[in-house]
Structure 1
Amino acid sequence: MTVTRRQMLAGAGLMGAATAVAPFIGTTASRATPPAPAAAPNVLLPLFNNSAFNGQISFCLGGASPHTSDVGEVMRVVQQVNKKTGNPSDADTTTGDFDALIQGFVDMGDRMERLAKRSGKSDAVTYRQRMMRASSYAAQALFFVLGGSRPDDEADYFRICQRRWLAAARAFDRPVQQFRVESPYGSIPCYFFPSPIGKGPRPTLIVSSGSDGQLVECMGFGIT
């Protein structure tokens, strides 16, 4: 059985690598006391008790290697969200908890974009890395938007995520080149990153994430 992101965030359940996790969309009712931390012997880095939150944000945290996230920035959002929500388990997660997570990453992404523009394109590395992180943080809001109270924001978050990524990609020493490839299923948008050194024909690596993830998430597949 294939579980789509939409089904997962609508409460159908999250299929893990080896186990199925119970639905985690709850109600908007408030909780009297925060639940005790859930036992998670197979979780390497327990950021959240909610397994979906923990899995996706751990993936975001790993983006620190290809410079699409920053450990301190991500951990700051985690701290703020857990303080606001009480760090609920899967079964106790409410729409409001999704909203808190979404807003935390929206705010951090907006801050990174402001800082990128402040640094200016004359400082291309700083501009590029800040804008890339801004795109990544928008991608987290996009991933969870269907579980929050404003699912209609999905298209807006997608556009913000893509716009920031493209701004960052254009700030490489050799800017990304856009083109399209026709297929029986329609036109496929493609992005070519020229080698920063040398010129002329050379072996080219084709990267496809194989998922419905965002372009910023492909940066860790050998591009940066």
Structure 2
Amino acid sequence: MSALTKICGLSTPETLDAAIGVGASHVGFVFFAPSPRDLPFDRAAGLAARVPARVRRVGVFVDPDDALLDQAAAAGRLDAIQLHKTAPARAAAIRARLGLEAWAAVPVKTRADLDLARHFVGAADRILYDAKTPESASLPGGMGLRFDWALLDGFAHPLPWALSGGLDPVNVAEAIRRTRAPLVDVSSGVERAPGVKDVDKIVAFLKAAQL
């Protein structure tokens, strides 16, 4: 089986075009200053203009304020917002305010962590299961960490969902087969350095996800 695919943290025309050209269903623009993938608004606007209507633009945020959301949504012509470290009530408020599809990231290390997904019913449109980062980590994702996919076995997903965390061109086909994820999300797994995407890795990831 194949899955929808999101290449996250894109920042150049070359890597964006590679993702679109090989069939990514979603492209991700990061708006979080501490991240090496943080995208200035002017660059986001230029990239967003290259994205065809069949591909959805997702803005990635970490507990954002309204001013950041407004500027990023306009510059990136966003179709959806991906929220990390954002409480369900706040996610619901953002979703209602912007009128955009909302994804809520749920960090996973144990089976009990999956229960948080249920709190986003009515507040988000999709759950993104990601690997839980250490408490001391400066970033909530994009660190190449993977959680045990077996934790998802038999779990009754309360919302449409996506799999993230430690995916790369080598393991994505197994991840899709093992979890039956309807959508897979990659960032560091297609980079040659933090924040620097690799065209060849993007192409390899997308082709592997389509098998």
Greater strand proportion: 2
Q: Which has the higher contact order (CA 8 A, sep 6+)?
A: 2
What TM-score do the two structures reach when normalised by structure 1?
0.28
Greater helix proportion: 1
Task: Specify the structure having the higher radius of gyration (Cα).
Answer: 1
